[in-house]
């Protein structure tokens, strides 16, 4: 599949990337105005990775996400109003307003959940892959994580289990060059993180994470391998987050020049140029098509904000409704039967 020459695919990819961008910008603005609480980890600048990766999946396939996971949710087909409601602590949110930004899950679309624990989604992905294998399914699991996760014990254990059991898992590293404030140049003694795959006997490849086509091609190859019983693969996608690690990040560990140099490599602007330029073939999209994609993304996010704001607040009185204790154990107001 060629995203830059097939009009329907190009529109889908561009609209998805713009939706992620506008959603994140809206969240950034609402948080700054005190309308959201807690913290936020924005993925502005990284839109091409979840877009390309999720376009390589089929209905029924799964993903696990991260604390910087809004883009993964959107690319996998999440409802924007339910996402926004979750961030605003509304009863209509994906987790009824109890999980917030870092814990959105949408089982209906195969999103097994974001995770506030670095590398926490990796063993979950291995477990999901094992479940697929045990029930004889054909689904594939894509596990998203950042470069900082690759030095976590849970990452090594999850990848190792997937490798020795040939589980249908694709490990996708969004290498945005910093684990919080720690540069990858200081945290690793390898040229590329994809080299780590060799230690587990699985394929590893490094690609341009700012190009959705390149991401799609790499993940699609890995998905085909996993679905056919070939086991897991590791895809390292080189990208960059324009914003700080979280809302409290003062960005003292990187220069303005570095940030600006990556902003000039805006994945959305580059993709728009690719789908309207055409090169040796006819352009996939016209300028009016591009504007339509932009407007659709903008309107979807605006409607999500309106719908979420009108929803009822999460009720503190029902906070423990989904908290369970073994029979006979004391709980608030009595004993579990």
Query: Is residue 234 over pLDDT 60?
Result: yes
pLDDT in tens, 158-205: 999 999 999 999 999 999 999 999 999 999 999 999 999 999 999 999
The CA distances from residue 113 to 38, 69, 109, 186, in Å, are 18, 9, 11, 30
pLDDT in tens, 318-334: 888 877 766 656 555 55
Percent of the chain residues past pLDDT 90, beyond the cut: 88
Nearest to 212 by CA among 52, 45, 47: 52
HSE (side-chain half, CA atoms, 13 Å) at 183: 8
Nearest to 143 by CA among 202, 80, 63: 63
pLDDT in tens, 49-61: 999 999 999 999 9
Contacts of 38 (CB under 8 A, 6+ apart): 100, 101
Tokens 């409607």 correspond to 303
pLDDT at site 318:
85
Q: At what angle do helices 267-277 and 48-55 cross, to 10 degrees?
A: 60
- What mean pLDDT comes out for the span 229-237? 98
**DSSP states along 26-59:** HHHHHHHTTSS-S-----TT-THHHHHHHHT--T
Domains parsed from the chain with CATH numbers: 7-335 (3.40.50.970)
HSE (side-chain half, CA atoms, 13 Å) at 102: 13
**Strand, helix or coil at 201?**
coil
pLDDT at site 9:
96
Q: Find the largest Cα–Cα distance for the chain.
A: 73
CA Rg value for the chain: 20
The CA distance from 102 to 121, in Å, is 12
Please indicate, yes or no, whether the overall pTM of this predicted structure exceeds 0.85. Answer: yes
């Amino acid at each position: 599949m060629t995203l830059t020459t097939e009009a329907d695919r190009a529109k889908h990819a561009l609209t998805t990337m713009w939706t992620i961008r506008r959603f994140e910008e809206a969240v950034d603005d609402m948080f700054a105005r005190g309308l959201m609480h807690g913290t936020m980890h924005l993925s502005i600048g990284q839109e091409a990775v979840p877009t390309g990766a999720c376009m390589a999946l089929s209905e029924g396939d799964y993903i696990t996400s991260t604390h910087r996971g809004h883009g993964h949710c959107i690319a996998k087909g999440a409802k924007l109003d339910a996402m926004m409601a979750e961030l605003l602590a509304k009863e209509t949110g994906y987790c009824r307003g109890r999980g917030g930004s870092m814990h959105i899950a949408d089982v209906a679309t195969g999103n097994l959940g974001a995770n506030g624990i670095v590398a926490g989604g990796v063993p979950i992905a291995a477990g999901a892959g094992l479940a697929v294998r045990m029930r004889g399914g054909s689904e594939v699991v894509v596990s998203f994580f950042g470069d900082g996760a690759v030095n976590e014990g849970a990452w090594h254990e999850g990848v190792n289990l997937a490798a020795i059991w040939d589980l249908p898992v694709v490990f996708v590293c969004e290498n945005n060059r910093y684990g919080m404030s720690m540069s990858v140049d200081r945290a690793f003694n390898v040229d590329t993180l994809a080299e780590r795959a060799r230690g587990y006997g699985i394929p590893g490849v490094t690609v341009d994470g700012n190009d959705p086509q390149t991401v799609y091609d790499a993940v699609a190859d890995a998905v085909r391998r996993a679905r056919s019983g070939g086991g897991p693969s590791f895809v390292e996608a080189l990208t960059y987050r324009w914003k700080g690690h979280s809302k409290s990040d003062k960005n003292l560990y990187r220069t303005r020049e570095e940030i600006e140099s990556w902003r000039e490599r805006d994945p959305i602007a580059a993709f728009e140029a690719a789908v309207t330029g055409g090169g040796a073939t006819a352009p996939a999209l016209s300028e009016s098509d591009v504007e339509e994609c932009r407007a659709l993304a903008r309107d979807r996010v605006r409607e999500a904000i309106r719908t979420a704001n009108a929803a009822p607040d999460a009720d503190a009185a029902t906070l423990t409704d989904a908290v369970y204790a073994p029979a006979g154990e004391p709980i608030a107001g009595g004993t579990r039967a």
